[in-house]
Amino acid sequence: MSTFVCGKEETMKVQNIYESLGIRKEVYEFGEEILRSLKERFEEIDETAEYNQLKIIEAFHRNRVSEACLYGSRGYGYGDVGRDTLEKVYADVFKTEDALVRPQITCGTHALSLALMSNLRPGDELLSAAGKPYDTLEEVIGIRDSKGSLKEYGISYAQADLKAEGGFDLNAIASKINDRTKLVTIQRSKGYQTRRTLGVKDIAEAIGFIKSVKPDVKVMVDNCYGEFVEREEPSEYGADMVVGSLIKNPGGGLAPIGGYICGTSECVENAAYRLTSPGLGKEVGASLGVLPQFYQGLFLSPVVTASALKGAIFAANIYERLGFEVLPDGSEDRHDIIQAVTFHDPKALTAFCRGIQAAAPVDSFVTPEPWDMPGYDSQVIMAAGNFIPGSSIELSADGPIRPPYSVYFQGGLTFPHAKYGILSSLEYLVRENCVNHLM
Ligand X SMILES: *Cc1c(COP(=O)(O)O)cnc(C)c1O
Number of neighbours of residue 273 by Cβ within 10 angstroms: 15
Least distance between ligand X and beta carbon 408 (Å): 9
In the shown chain, the binding pattern of residues 115 to 154 toward ligand X, with x for contact by CB under 6 A and - for none, equals -------------------x-x------------------
Work out whether 189 is an interface residue with ligand X (CB under 6 A): yes
Least distance between ligand X and beta carbon 395 (Å): 15
* CA–CA distance, 317 with 102 (Å, rounded to integer): 37
Least distance between ligand X and beta carbon 390 (Å): 7
Residues 6+ away with beta carbon under 8 Å from 399:
192, 349, 352, 353, 380, 381, 405, 406, 407, 408
Closest CA to 160 of 136, 139, 184: 184
Work out whether 107 is an interface residue with ligand X (CB under 6 A): yes
Closest CA to 394 of 284, 295, 247: 247
Least distance between ligand X and beta carbon 224 (Å): 3
What sections of 193-257 are H helices per DSSP? 200-213
* Omega before 404 within 30 of 0, i.e. cis: yes
Work out whether 406 is an interface residue with ligand X (CB under 6 A): no
Work out whether 409 is an interface residue with ligand X (CB under 6 A): no
Question: Widest CA span of the chain, in angstroms?
Answer: 76
**Among positions 28, 30, 90, 225, the unique one binding ligand X when judged by CB under 6 A:** 225
- Residue 112 or 284: the one with the smaller Cβ distance to ligand X is 112
Work out whether 253 is an interface residue with ligand X (CB under 6 A): no
**Interface residues for ligand X in 330-389 (CB under 6 A)?**
none
Interacting stretch for ligand X, rule CB under 6 A, among 80-88, 196-204, 221-229, 362-370?
Answer: 221-229
**Among positions 119, 149, 245, 317, the unique one binding ligand X when judged by CB under 6 A:** 245
Least distance between ligand X and beta carbon 223 (Å): 8
How many CA within 13 A on the CB side of residue 163?
A: 10
Residue pair 276/78 in contact (Cβ under 8 Å)? The answer is no
**Interface residues for ligand X in 263-302 (CB under 6 A)?**
none
Residue pair 434/345 in contact (Cβ under 8 Å)? The answer is yes
* Torsion (CA) 284, 286, 292, 293 in degrees, nearest 10: -90
Interacting stretch for ligand X, rule CB under 6 A, among 38-46, 186-194, 268-276, 315-323?
Answer: 186-194
- Residue 111 or 349: the one with the smaller Cβ distance to ligand X is 111
- Residue 140 or 286: the one with the smaller Cβ distance to ligand X is 140
The residue at minimum Cβ distance from ligand X is 108
Residue pair 418/305 in contact (Cβ under 8 Å)? The answer is no
Residue pair 26/17 in contact (Cβ under 8 Å)? The answer is no
* CA–CA distance, 167 with 244 (Å, rounded to integer): 22
- Residue 330 or 411: the one with the smaller Cβ distance to ligand X is 411
Query: Would you tell me which residues interact with ligand X (CB under 6 A)?
Result: 107-109, 112, 134, 136, 187, 189, 191, 222, 224-225, 245
